[in-house]
Amino acid sequence: MLSVRDLTVSLGPERAPVDIVAGVSFGLARGEILGLVGESGCGKSMTSLAVMGLLPQPGPRVRAGQVLLDGSDVTQLQPWQRVEAGHGRMAMIFQEPMTSLNPVRRIGDQITEAVQVHERLAGAAALARARELLELVRMPDPGMQLSAYPHQLSGGQRQRVMIAIALACRPQVLIADEPTTALDVTIQVQILGLLRELCNRLDMAILFITHDMGVIAQLADRVAVMYAGRIVETAPVGALFEAPRHPYTSGLMDCMPSRNSGARRLPTIAGQPPKPSRVAAGCVFAPRCASVREACRLATPPRAEVAQGHEVLCAFPLNGGGLP
């Protein structure tokens, strides 16, 4: 349903562009949750904003590539054209719901506003739809909450309101950028459960962005691992956790705390991701890679399919069990 092809987002002048997202491709089907994971600054948010047509202006721009929604390229459309063409069918939720909600307006008013825009309903009909949306996101006592202000709700309830607003346009694709990072762990589990339920019930696709491999393991069907503006590995979630093939993915997994890790210090991946303006020749991960070979520094690795639906951007993918 959504197909992103060679998406490149750049900064700087046309003559000397700096790519902060470099040739990203992925697909998303109905009822599927794709997890996009990677360290801070690797381009996850820029990818999602470019897909939504919401890149901050002035600044980053889509320099190349396509975002195909049901077969037509939305990067070529102005925002109003997207809505007119019926392509307003993507919605997004962010990390901190308080910054997206208006603190001085009631929850009910904020949801009905979205309902009015997308469904051209007004008055009692809009209010009824707002209540229905709050029920859909399993808000406790939805009738009461319509007249509450954002500060009267808990963090988890505010995120439910944001999800309700996002659902007002009946999206085919929901993009969630770290929606649970600001929540405590038990509330996080509830919100992840809600997203899975909505994905199934509404037959919606979800692009879920996080830097947390644990969240990916809980929620995603498929995973795309991003590093320095590139997707370095894509796989079904089970295959990825069983046998990561890119040394970066394997490194990210080693950094995951587990119940058995006790008081032992968790490993980290040495070094820092490269600045987008300082990407050297060869594999982008080579300077930090524990399994680096001479060839890695010379040429960009090819994209290899190591198993059905499992692709890796590495010239010497790890060998299933984790050894090169």
Ligand X SMILES: Nc1ncnc2c1ncn2[C@@H]1O[C@H](COP(=O)(O)OP(=O)(O)OP(=O)(O)O)[C@@H](O)[C@H]1O
Minimal distance, residue 169 CB to Mg ion, in Å:
22
What string of DSSP letters covers 37-97?
E--TTSSHHHHHHHHHT---SSS-EEEEEEEEETTEEGGGS-HHHHHHTT---EEEE-S-H
153 binds, among Mg ion, ligand X, none (CB under 5 to 8 A by kind): none
Minimal distance, residue 13 CB to ligand X, in Å:
14
Could you say which of 2, 4, 20, 289 contacts ligand X (CB under 6 A)?
20
Residues in the chain: 324
CB neighbours of 246 closer than 8 A, spacing ≥ 6? 225, 232, 233, 285, 312, 313, 314, 317, 318
Minimal distance, residue 206 CB to ligand X, in Å:
17
Could you say which of 2, 4, 28, 43 contacts ligand X (CB under 6 A)?
43
Q: Which stretch binds ligand X (CB under 6 A): 36-44, 158-166, 252-260, 309-317?
A: 36-44
Q: Identify any residues that bridge with 257 across adjacent strands, giving them in sequence order.
A: none
Contact between 60 and ligand X by CB under 6 A: the answer reads: yes
Contact between 251 and ligand X by CB under 6 A: the answer reads: no
Phi, psi of 170 (to 5 degrees): 50, 60
Minimal distance, residue 276 CB to ligand X, in Å:
5
Phi, psi of 77 (to 5 degrees): -100, 150
Of the pair 26, 316, the CB lying nearest Mg ion is at 26
* Residues found near Mg ion in the complex (CB under 5 A): 45
Q: How many CA atoms lie within 13 A of 273 on its CB side?
A: 17
Q: Can you read off the two tokens belonging to residue 117?
A: 């825009």
DSSP designation for 12: S
DSSP designation for 193: H
Residue tagged 């987002």 (tokens): 9
CB atoms within 10 A of CB 255: 12
Minimal distance, residue 122 CB to Mg ion, in Å:
36
Contact between 42 and ligand X by CB under 6 A: the answer reads: yes
Minimal distance, residue 93 CB to Mg ion, in Å:
13
Could you say which of 65, 171, 276, 282 contacts ligand X (CB under 6 A)?
276
24 binds, among Mg ion, ligand X, none (CB under 5 to 8 A by kind): none
Q: Which stretch binds ligand X (CB under 6 A): 38-46, 129-137, 212-220, 284-292?
A: 38-46
Nearest to 23 by CA among 307, 252, 303: 303
Could you say which of 59, 193, 257, 320 contacts ligand X (CB under 6 A)?
59
Minimal distance, residue 272 CB to ligand X, in Å:
11
276 binds, among ligand X, Mg ion, none (CB under 5 to 8 A by kind): ligand X
56 binds, among ligand X, Mg ion, none (CB under 5 to 8 A by kind): ligand X
Of the pair 45, 145, the CB lying nearest ligand X is at 45
Residues 291-320 that bind ligand X (CB under 6 A): none
Residue 247, classified by CB atoms within 10 Å of its CB into exposed (0-12), middle (13-18) or buried (19+), is buried
Q: Are 73 and 62 in contact (CB under 8 A)?
A: no
Minimal distance, residue 83 CB to ligand X, in Å:
24
Contact between 41 and ligand X by CB under 6 A: the answer reads: yes
Q: What angle do CA 259, 264, 266 make, to 5 degrees?
A: 80
Contact between 40 and ligand X by CB under 6 A: the answer reads: yes
Contacting positions for ligand X (CB under 6 A): 11, 20, 38, 40-46, 56, 59-60, 211, 276
